[in-house]
């Protein structure tokens, strides 16, 4: 009885999600049969579409564009209200006037990755050959595929080079892939809380999540659209497991400890007696409202396959040989999903390939998710790195207002935040 109550049914209907997958609320670029996306699995995907958002304005010489790469379960709605959840953008804390990714200075682009479910072609999109959702007929995609699609989007938007590519977690993997695949198009790169390859432990957690989805009777081998169901219980369990890996023991303890939820004594049942349990159940059920289960399978798989050194005979430094891109690598002390040691390995490889690299490990007990939270040290370093990159690119004189103006604007912004 209690187990059935554990995850509430989604209040947003699958039809809403399905509609968003084909007809996104955000701008979308469509590629026809003449412009297929060449996937690593050998398939040419055509036609396909990429949904995206932009913030700020592109300057005259197109030198102030910054690409944000989103993490696994996020999307293009960085700094605007989410069309399905009605909640604020996932990185509003970072993106906006006076924020580190200052929309008064930079032109910010974020696309929904290929394989996603918020308007870029993915397993939830309609397969033009059948008129039904792709489901498991959708080809397996990789991080390089996502980046290739983003490059095609930028071509279409008329942006040759990016001032910076920034992203955390899966987004950080895309950042690294960008620098390895298109070094000449990336002036600077800010990979956060990520690594050049997905570890065995991380693959193991993803497998747990996928198995949870596939064990749900509502999954129907991925054909749940036709049955008007959604494996929301399996997906919620996957999200709960994932969410634990995004936090840290210290953060969970600080937030919840062993405190009880709305009661003083245990119920001697499998109800959510502990606050941490009801928190996880909430996380799970709110996630299934906005995310597609098959998309979760495809995107976790893409992360699992990621190994940048593998394409270079296992020598990571070779991936970045002779690169001109300026790097700023950031990790967080309590991140056990992508621990600092992984970032250090990347930094050593970048140093070995003579890349211009900065690296900072930021002290926080908030775990992997720290890159999405209010961590002033991270904001400061991102702001400083972007400003120096802008300066090196000659942006200062053109797009930047005077020091005084900037200062007062930042002051205003921080006042607003308080």
> Which of 227, 207, 231 is CA-nearest to residue 217?
231
Part in contact with other proteins (CB under 8 A); list of ranges 16-24, 46-54, 326-334, 365-373: 326-334
Out of 220, 388, 400, 409, point to the residue binding other proteins (CB under 8 A). Answer: 388
Binding of other proteins at residue 381 (CB under 8 A)? yes
CB nearer to other proteins: pick between 126 and 353:
353
Out of 162, 357, 372, 399, point to the residue binding other proteins (CB under 8 A). Answer: 357
Rg (CA), the chain: 21
> Which of 250, 251, 248, 257 is CA-nearest to residue 276?
257
Binding of other proteins at residue 365 (CB under 8 A)? no
Q: Residue 14 catalytic?
A: no
Quote the CA–CA distance of 293 and 212 in Å, as a whole number. 10
Out of 149, 212, 328, 375, point to the residue binding other proteins (CB under 8 A). Answer: 328
What's the half-sphere exposure (Cβ side, CA atoms, 13 Å) at 330?
30
CB nearer to other proteins: pick between 148 and 326:
326
Binding of other proteins at residue 309 (CB under 8 A)? no
Shortest distance (Å) from residue 328 CB to other proteins: 6
Out of 62, 82, 220, 356, point to the residue binding other proteins (CB under 8 A). Answer: 356
Residue in 102, 216, 273, 335 annotated catalytic: 335
> Which of 172, 232, 233, 178 is CA-nearest to residue 202?
172
CB nearer to other proteins: pick between 288 and 328:
328
Phi, psi angle pair for 43, to nearest 5°: -95, 140
Which is it for strands 48-55 and 28-31: parallel, antiparallel or unpaired? Answer: antiparallel
Q: Residue 9 catalytic?
A: no
Tokens 């064990």 belong to 215
Give me the DSSP letters along 58-79.
Answer: --TTS--EEEEEP-TT--S-SS
Binding region for other proteins (CB under 8 A) = 326-328, 344, 347-348, 351-352, 354, 356-363, 377, 380-381, 384-385, 387-389, 391-392
Catalytic residue ranges: 169, 335, 368
């Amino acid at each position: 009885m209690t187990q059935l109550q554990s995850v509430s049914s989604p209040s947003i209907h699958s039809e809403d999600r399905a509609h968003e997958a084909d007809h996104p609320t955000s701008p979308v670029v469509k590629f026809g049969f003449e412009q297929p996306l060449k996937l690593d699995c050998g398939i040419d995907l055509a036609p396909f579409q990429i949904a995206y958002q932009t913030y700020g304005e592109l300057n005259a010489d197109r030198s102030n564009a910054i690409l944000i790469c989103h993490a696994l379960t996020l999307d293009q709605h960085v700094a605007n209200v989410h069309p399905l959840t009605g909640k604020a953008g996932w990185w509003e804390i970072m993106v906006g006037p006076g924020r580190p990714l200052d929309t008064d200075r930079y032109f910010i682009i974020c696309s929904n990755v290929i394989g996603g479910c918020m308007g870029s072609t993915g397993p939830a999109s309609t397969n033009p050959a059948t008129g039904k959702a792709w489901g498991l007929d959708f080809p397996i995609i990789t991080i390089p595929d996502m980046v290739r699609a983003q490059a095609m989007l930028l071509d279409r938007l008329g942006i040759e080079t990016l001032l910076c590519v920034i992203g955390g977690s899966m987004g950080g993997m895309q950042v690294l892939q960008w620098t390895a695949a298109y070094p000449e198009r990336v002036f600077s790169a800010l990979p956060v809380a990520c690594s050049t390859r997905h570890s065995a432990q991380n693959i193991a957690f993803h497998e747990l999540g996928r198995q949870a989805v596939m064990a749900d009777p509502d999954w129907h081998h991925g054909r749940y659209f036709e049955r008007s169901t959604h494996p929301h219980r399996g997906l919620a369990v996957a999200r709960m497991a994932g969410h634990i890996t995004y936090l840290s023991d210290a953060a969970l303890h600080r937030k919840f400890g062993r405190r009880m939820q709305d009661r003083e004594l245990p119920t001697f049942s499998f109800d959510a007696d502990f606050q941490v349990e009801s928190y996880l159940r909430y996380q799970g059920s709110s996630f299934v409202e906005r995310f597609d289960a098959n998309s979760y399978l495809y995107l976790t798989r893409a992360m699992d396959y990621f190994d940048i050194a593998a394409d270079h005979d296992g020598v990571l430094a070779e991936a970045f040989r002779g690169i001109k891109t300026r790097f700023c690598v950031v990790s967080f002390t309590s991140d056990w999903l992508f621990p600092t040691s992984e970032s250090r390995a990347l930094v050593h490889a970048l140093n070995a390939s003579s890349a211009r690299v900065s690296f900072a490990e930021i002290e926080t007990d908030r775990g992997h998710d720290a890159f999405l939270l209010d961590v002033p040290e991270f904001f400061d370093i991102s702001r400083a790195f972007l400003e120096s990159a802008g300066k090196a690119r000659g942006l200062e004189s053109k797009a930047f207002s005077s020091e005084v103006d900037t200062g007062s604007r930042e002051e205003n912004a921080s006042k607003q935040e308080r």
